[in-house]
Homo-oligomer: A and B are copies of this chain.
Amino acid sequence: MKRIVQSLRKALPVAVLVCVAGSGGVQAAEFESYKRYFEPLPALPPLPSNNSLTPEKVELGKMLFFEPRISASGVISCATCHNPALGWSDRIPRAVGHDGQVGERNTPTVLNSGFLEAQFWDGREPDLEGQALGPIQAEIEMAMELDDALDQLARFDVYQERFKEAFPGQADPLTAENVAKALASFQRTLNTPNSPFDRYLRGDDNAMTEQQKRGMAAFVGNGCIACHRGANFSDSRFHRFELPGSTDEGRFVVTGEERDRFAFRTPTLRNVAVTYPYFNNGSVDDLHDAVQLMGEQMLGRKLEQPVVDDIVAFLHALTGEMPRITFPSLP
């Protein structure tokens, strides 16, 4: 990790490093050079070759996302934890599922999740299709066998028709695979474009405040961008991290490899200001604390408070336009 940061710092323009290290911050004109480290959020994430994005799939996926009757209790849907009113997450430390059971991990937002190349905190699925069926079956989440979930859906003519429309040409399209494809399609539309940062990158110099621009420079200069990079501010890779109080072994649970113990997939930083609390067990509420902790753990140093404040201001500029979703009408 530190090596990544060091190599990155080598690549930075000298003037930038001097400015960031100094107390005066970066002059307005020089912010321009930072834009090349970033890219605005595309309208859509990459699409897999075997799951084209169609309006029919998206609409069906939306219904399934809000469908509580594919849970054992009949009241928990994807939207229970990935709540559109709460940044498509739940804003509690650890997820609460079937019969009030509390899981081990914080609910990640589904916003922009199509841009991630590894799903779940431990990356055990590579894509949204692989991710989609997990929470339905998990004993501590929706707790329903897939066959039972399909039986629930098959009771309704409306679902029979919608699956046929979304997957034309299939004799019996009401399958688990298609549930996953529809859910993944819907989620790929849940993106948050036009954040102040995106508008800044696209040429609106006034879209970010001076403090946010200083934060952007500090974000690059301090090496945060080593892992939080790309359109969704995540390398989709795994990094070891000692979170005080957490016993979660993270990626190790998936691979059994020692180097993965306590390693977690880099979370997106888009909309981070509205997707608190933070880290794998949601134990940190405040974004300043989260930034400071990252500085200590990942960068190996204590960031000065003004730098933390600037970075937090920058992170607030990553809050984009939320998808405008009306409730589906379920059968």
Contacts and interface: CB of A to CB of B under 8 A. Distances in A.
Interface in A18-77: 66-69, 73-75
Contact of A74 (B75, B96, B326, B327): B96
Contact of A80 (B75, B92, B98): B75
Interface string A275-314: 0000000000000000000000000000000000000000
Interface stretch (A81-89, A175-183, A222-230): A81-89
A176 to B, nearest CB: 22
Given A85-B328, A99-B99, A330-B85, A90 B74 contact: yes
Contacts of A171: none
Given A74-B92, A96-B73, A86 B325 contact: no
A194 B84 CA distance: 29
Interface string A310-331: 0000000000001011111110
Contacts of A326: 324-326
Count chain B CB atoms within 10 A of each CB in A69, A85, A90, A322 and give the residue with the most: A85
A311 to B, nearest CB: 22
Interface in A223-268: none
Q: In the assembly, how many copies of this chain are there?
A: 2
A238 to B, nearest CB: 28
Contacts of A100: 73, 98-100
A100 B324 CA distance: 30
A66 B85 CA distance: 7
Contacts of A270: none
A214 interface: no
Contacts of A213: none
A105 interface: no
Given A85-B329, A85-B330, A328-B85, A75 B90 contact: yes
A188 interface: no
B73 A90 contact: no
A83 B330 CA distance: 10
A84 B327 contact: yes
Contacts of A324: 326
Nearest to A97: B75
A85 B327 contact: yes
Contacts of A75: 80-81, 90, 92, 96
Nearest to A102: B73
A143 B256 CA distance: 40
B329 A327 contact: no
Given A74-B92, A75-B90, 18 more contacts: A66-B85, A68-B83, A68-B90, A69-B91, A69-B92, A73-B96, A73-B100, A74-B90, A74-B91, A74-B96, A75-B80, A75-B81, A75-B96, A84-B327, A99-B100, A322-B329, A324-B326, A325-B327
8 contacts: A66-B85, A68-B86, A69-B92, A75-B96, A85-B327, A85-B330, A99-B99, A324-B326
Closest 7 CB pairs of A and B: A99-B100, A74-B92, A84-B327, A75-B96, A85-B327, A85-B330, A73-B96
